[in-house]
């Protein structure tokens, strides 16, 4: 039986006092790749923020990577996030240090202490994203595609069950976007990592087809069920 990594039942999502999405029912399983599409302002980011504990879930039931979102407190959020990898559109790399030190900063922040184990883990994730020899480089010396690969490597550091990618190809040219998409699909397939990717890039969605969730009119529709009707 498939293992559910994300399970939301009758969830209402609020931003401040405003209801953004209502009656969200979504199940995403281990190693599944899912797109999240929808116009700006329809709730994509709010849905992702709910999944990584940035927005409090007030109504409905939800679990992500084994954590109950209704019981999430600020003290528990860091433990949830250690099971997640988050990839951003604007990379958010620290510009005053090289790639290795960017990754080491995250490991230390999540409780790693052994220098040898940290170096082994950094080499491992850089190898996975095709940047094994680039650890000494400063972020500003790298192309946009390379910086996005570093961002993905950073998301892999704690061997997450789930990667939430927010517009990861948004600032990249089509050729580089395709390379990043191939990498994300490869990670999902080879390591059994679930990937949920918010995107406006329909060229990518058409070229690399996968299950698609869509936010519109305050609801989340799922083509995995819509196509059956």
State the SS3 of the chain. CCCEEEEEEEEEEEECCEEEEEEEEEEEECCCEEEEECCCCCCHHHHHHHHCCCCCCCEEEEEECCEEHHHCCCCCHHHHHCCEEEECCCCCCCCCCEHHHHHHHHHHHCCCCCHHHHHHHHHHHHHHCCCCCCCCCEHHHCCHHHHHHHHHHHHHCCCCCEEEEECCCCCCCHHHHHHHHHHHHHHHHHHCCEEEEECCCHHHHHHCCCEEEEEECCEEEEHHHHCCC
What is the domain range of residue 72?
Answer: 4-83+160-226
Give residue 79's pLDDT.
87
CA angle, 171 as apex, 169 and 176 as ends, to 5°? 55
**CATH at residue 38:** 3.40.50.300
> Does residue 121 fall inside a structural domain?
no
> Does residue 19 fall inside a structural domain?
yes
> Does residue 189 fall inside a structural domain?
yes
> Does residue 112 fall inside a structural domain?
no
The total number of structural domains in the chain stands at 1
pLDDT digits (tens, 9 = 90+) for 1-52: 779 999 999 999 998 889 999 999 999 999 999 999 988 889 998 999 999 9
> Does residue 125 fall inside a structural domain?
no
Give residue 171's pLDDT.
84
> Does residue 142 fall inside a structural domain?
no
Q: Is the pTM of this model over 0.95?
A: no
pLDDT digits (tens, 9 = 90+) for 146-185: 999 999 999 999 889 999 999 999 888 999 999 999 999 9
> Does residue 69 fall inside a structural domain?
yes
């Amino acid at each position: 039986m498939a293992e559910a990594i994300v399970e939301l039942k009758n969830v209402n999502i609020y931003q401040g006092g405003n209801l953004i999405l209502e009656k969200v029912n979504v199940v995403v399983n281990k190693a599944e790749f899912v797109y999240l599409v929808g116009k700006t302002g329809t709730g994509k980011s709010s849905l992702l923020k709910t999944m990584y504990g940035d927005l409090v879930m007030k109504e409905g039931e939800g679990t992500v990577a084994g954590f109950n979102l209704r019981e999430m407190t600020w003290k528990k959020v860091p433990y949830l996030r250690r099971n997640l990898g988050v990839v951003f559109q604007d990379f958010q790399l620290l510009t005053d240090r090289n790639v290795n030190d960017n990754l080491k900063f995250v490991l230390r922040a999540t409780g790693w202490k052994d220098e040898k184990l940290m170096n082994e883990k950094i080499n491992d994730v850089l190898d996975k994203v095709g940047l094994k020899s680039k650890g000494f480089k400063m972020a500003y010396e790298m192309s946009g595609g390379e910086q996005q690969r570093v961002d993905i490597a950073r998301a892999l550091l704690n061997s997450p069950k789930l990667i939430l990618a927010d517009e990861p190809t948004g600032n990249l040219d089509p050729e580089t976007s395709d390379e990043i998409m191939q990498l994300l699909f490869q990670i999902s397939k080879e390591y059994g990592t679930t990937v949920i990717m918010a995107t406006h890039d329909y060229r990518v969605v058409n070229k690399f087809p996968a299950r698609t969730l869509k936010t519109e009119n305050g609801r989340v529709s799922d083509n995995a069920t819509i196509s059956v009707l």
